[in-house]
Amino acid sequence: MRPREDLSGFEPYAWEPSTEEIARTFGLRPEDVVRMDTNVSPYRPSAVMRALRSELDRIEVNQYPDTSYRELREAMAEYVGWDPELIVPTNGADEAIDIVSRAFLAKGRSAASPVPTYSYFRVATELQGAEFRGVARLEGFIEDVDSLLRACDRSTSVVWLCDPNNPTGNGLEEGTIERVCRETEALVVVDEAYHEFSGRTVVRLLSRHENLCVIRTLSKAFGLAGIRIGYLVANGSVVRELNKARPPNSIGSVNARCGAIALKSHGYVRRDVERIVRERERLRSELSRLDGVLVYPSSANFLLIRLLDRDASEVKRSLLRKGIVVRSFEGNPYLSGCVRVTVCSRRENDRFIRAFKEALSAPTG
């Protein structure tokens, strides 16, 4: 066995334990565990699943799927307002990031990104042997555009941006994205995984910037995280390169059909998003009243909370004992003392508020 030597010190993506494992560890029933760490929708798209069940017998699962994903691309194109020939379906947004990395990054090349941001940008970059250049954000997690552009040189093939940004929740100014597109020759990739919650998109800028690429997913607002459907939206020259790196048959026939059904009946997404945004603002208002807590504004479906006088790991463990899972950031210098909380249903959010208040009031040590 000869693993790659350049990965000897590689830091992999930090996987969260399963719900069953958490339940066993803390003596809970799996159904009593609330996952507020994954940023997915609390609402199951029941109408989509019913429509899919009615079609299951007609799906030829003994055959490979249509590798062009024509039906799925056309549904994506109608939803986005873009040419179906310029859309690349993927197995979730993470595969979209992987495809960009395989097509544009290699040893001797680099990618730049404001940090903190989605950690898989670094993982995908370094897996290709390329250098990841993280550029610290300014106060309030605003992008330091000048420093970001200074970090780009002739080796820089990709600039990773996230709008709204995960895990901080803040948005990107459209002018910032345009400036980066103008002042670098790199492919500027904007991850819009949470765009339904923010109402912002830069898809219209694709007509003005050949080096722009947008990533979308059905895992968040569409409530289809387990189906694994994402997609890339770009111009012709970029799509040609992406298709060279796209694996065949990475989206199963059942998944592709489910994605098409959801995209064609996306009215439920607006209703779910409105409920989640209302709960986000209510949750932020409730938490902001607590002493020793700073809750950052968010345009996504999660909140980043900084604990000013409590240890984040202790608070997370206290919540775990009550069956509530939040995301913490041990070892991340930009997010010291922070936890990220997914906005769930009103009942689950109320349960979190009660448990969070108890964790804050518990004796330290």
pLDDT in tens, 164-186: 999 999 999 999 999 999 999 99
Residue 187 in this model has a pLDDT that exceeds 70: yes
Query: Sign of the CA dihedral 301, 298, 14, 346?
Result: negative
What pLDDT, on a 0 to 100 scale, did the predictor assign at position 246?
96
Is this model's pTM higher than 0.85 or not? yes
Q: What is the pLDDT of residue 331?
A: 87
- Contact between 130 and 105 under an 8 Å Cβ cutoff? The reply is yes
Q: What pLDDT, on the 0 to 100 scale, is given for residue 154?
A: 97
pLDDT at res. 145: 98
pLDDT band (50, 70, 90) for residue 16: confident
Percent of the chain with pLDDT over 70: 99
pLDDT at 191: 98
Q: Which residue has the higher pLDDT, 8 or 352?
A: 352
Q: Structural domains in the chain?
A: 14-39+268-360 (3.90.1150.10), 46-265 (3.40.640.10)
The pLDDT tens digits for 206-246 are 999 999 999 999 999 999 999 999 999 999 999 999 999 99
For residue range 91-112, what is the model confidence (pLDDT) as tens digits?
999 999 999 999 999 999 999 9
* Interatomic CA distance for residues 352 and 344, integer angstroms: 9
Model confidence at 7: pLDDT above 90: no
Residue found by looking up tokens 């709204």 in the block: 164
Q: CA 288 to CA 276: how far, in whole Å?
A: 18
Residue 151 has pLDDT above 90, yes or no: yes
pLDDT of residue 365: 58
Mean pLDDT calculated for residue range 196-212:
97
- CA–CA separation, 172 vs 137, rounded Å? 12
Please give the backbone phi and psi of residue 161, each rounded to the nearest 5 degrees, phi first: -130, 155
- Averaged pLDDT of the chain: 96
Least confident of 5-19, 33-47, 124-138: 5-19
pLDDT average, residue stretch 311-320: 94
Question: Has residue 125 got a pLDDT over 80?
Answer: yes
pLDDT at 204: 96
The answer on pLDDT for 9 being more than 90 is no
Range 186-215 burial, b when 16+ CB lie within 10 A, else e: bbbbbbbbbbbbbebbbbebbeebebbbbb
Q: With helix as H, strand as E and coil as C, how does the chain read?
A: CCCCHHHCCCCCCCCCCCHHHHHHHHCCCHHHCEECCCCCCCCCCHHHHHHHHHHHHHCCCCCCCCCCCHHHHHHHHHHHCCCHHHEEEECHHHHHHHHHHHHHCCCCCEEEEEECCCCHHHHHHHHCCCEEEEEECCHHHCCCHHHHHHCCCCCEEEEEEECCCCCCCCCCCHHHHHHHHHHCCCEEEEECCCHHHHCCCCHHHHHCCCCEEEEEECCCCCCCCCCCCEEEEECHHHHHHHHHHCCCCCCCHHHHHHHHHHHHCCHHHHHHHHHHHHHHHHHHHHHHCCCCEEECCCCCCEEEEEECCCCHHHHHHHHHHCCEECEECCCCCCCCCEEEEECCCHHHHHHHHHHHHHHHHCCCC
The radius of gyration of the chain's CA atoms, rounded to the nearest angstrom, is 21
Position 363 scores a pLDDT of 74
C-beta of residue 167 within 8 angstroms of C-beta of residue 191: no
